[in-house]
Structure 1
Amino acid sequence: MRKKFKSIDESRVTISELMLPSHSNFNGKIHGGYVLSLLDQIAFACASKHSEVYCVTASVDTVDFLKPIEIGELVTMKASVNFVGSSSMLIGIRVEAENIQTGEVKHCNSSYFTMVAKDSEGNSVPVPGLILKSSDDIRRFAKSIKRYDNKKKRRTEFHETDFVSEEHLHIVEGYNVQIEL
């Protein structure tokens, strides 16, 4: 029997992986695409653990690459459900890299994935609500509402605005462009 509400701790997921030379880019740092793949995996695991059903990635709301990850560092990703809608969940992920020789830990990435719970036919299904137990939980939930509202506003503005029209040329003023109409 699925619970009507779950605590954030019940769905929290942490994974660690040693970064190998095969994960690096041409600059000798861990490739951002590889990190994105790991982020998607942990977001799936966290959302599926919370909803107890298969989940799909609906959107990647934010990925902030803060510091490069080096070959040989131990990367730890911590994911938690920050917000739930009727069938969607916003998964917050923190990425840290540890130099295993010195013990130095650095915050490398913060990401937010919107995941949707699906049944075997691919229809969206309801997810359990969240039990918020701390001011930090409430802060994350409230920030997620704000993030959702901003995303909705951006979508509306983007679809309502005709960016091809000459009356919008003032928008590109001051940017590194050359207009040749």
Structure 2
Amino acid sequence: MTVKAKSVRESRTVKSSHVLPPDTNTHGTLFGGKLMAYIDDVAAIAATRHARQHVVTASSDSVDFLHPIKEGYSVCLEAFVSWTHRTSMEVFVKVISENLLTGERKLCALSFLTFVAIDDQGKPAPVPSVIAESEEEKWLFDGAPKRAERRRKRRDESKQLSRNFGTEKPWERS
């Protein structure tokens, strides 16, 4: 099945939230886990917009926390599909904090996640390719195959770790 290519802007998703006291740690900054949940949520929306199918998170390359996000600030996440393979999509997420009183904004985190589109039977389904238009989009698109190869290697290492440290007893492994 062939699906029509889509521009990055068709998947672009923005989510903003006020950082309130229950969202913070003892340092008065946003919990890292809370930010990771926001990242997964906004990335899933972008992937679903691109595929127009159900999606599942396959991996998170990393979340690079560059600056803390303080209580009382806003946090704004922007996500979009930066590259696709046959059934998978790389989603780029950037996180910006804003001091709502001064207007000062900082890039606080970056992340790449991979999502897989699934059909009604839960099987991987084809997704549209990406049309990168802006310089930022083209730069991310061009670097994606190298990131995908690193993901594949990391996944192979995870499978090996799973065999070594999984729930099977060493003498039960075949």
TM (norm. structure 2) is 0.86
Q: How does 1:57-68 map to 2 (within 5 A)?
A: 57-68=57-68
Structure 1 counterpart of 2:120: 120
Q: Is the 8 A contact 2:3 2:126 kept in 1?
A: no
Structure 1 counterpart of 2:84: 84
**CA distance, structure 2, for counterparts of residue 160 and residue 100 of structure 1:** 47
Q: Which runs of 5+ in 2 are unaligned?
A: 165-174
Structure 2 vs 1, CA of residues 117 and 24 (structure 1 numbering), >3 Å: closer, same or farther? same
Structure 2 counterpart of 1:37: 37
SS of structure 2 residue aligned to 1:128: coil
**CA distance, structure 2, for counterparts of residue 107 and residue 135 of structure 1:** 18
**CA distance, structure 1, for counterparts of residue 157 and residue 37 of structure 2:** 30
RMSD of the TM alignment (CA)? 1.9
Which deviations, in whole Å up to 9, do the C-alpha atoms of 1:91-147 show, x marking residues without a partner?
000000000000000111001110111112211100011112234322101212111
Structure 2 counterpart of 1:179: none
Give 1:123's aligned amino acid: K
Give 1:86's aligned amino acid: R
Structure 1 counterpart of 2:47: 47
Which deviations, in whole Å up to 9, do the C-alpha atoms of 1:7-40 show, x marking residues without a partner?
0001100111111101011222110010011011
Q: Which runs of 5+ in 1 are unaligned?
A: 165-181
Q: Percent identity?
A: 37
Give 1:75's aligned amino acid: V
Give 1:153's aligned amino acid: K
**CA distance, structure 2, for counterparts of residue 26 and residue 150 of structure 1:** 35
SS of structure 2 residue aligned to 1:36: helix
Give 1:103's aligned amino acid: G
SS of structure 1 residue aligned to 2:95: strand
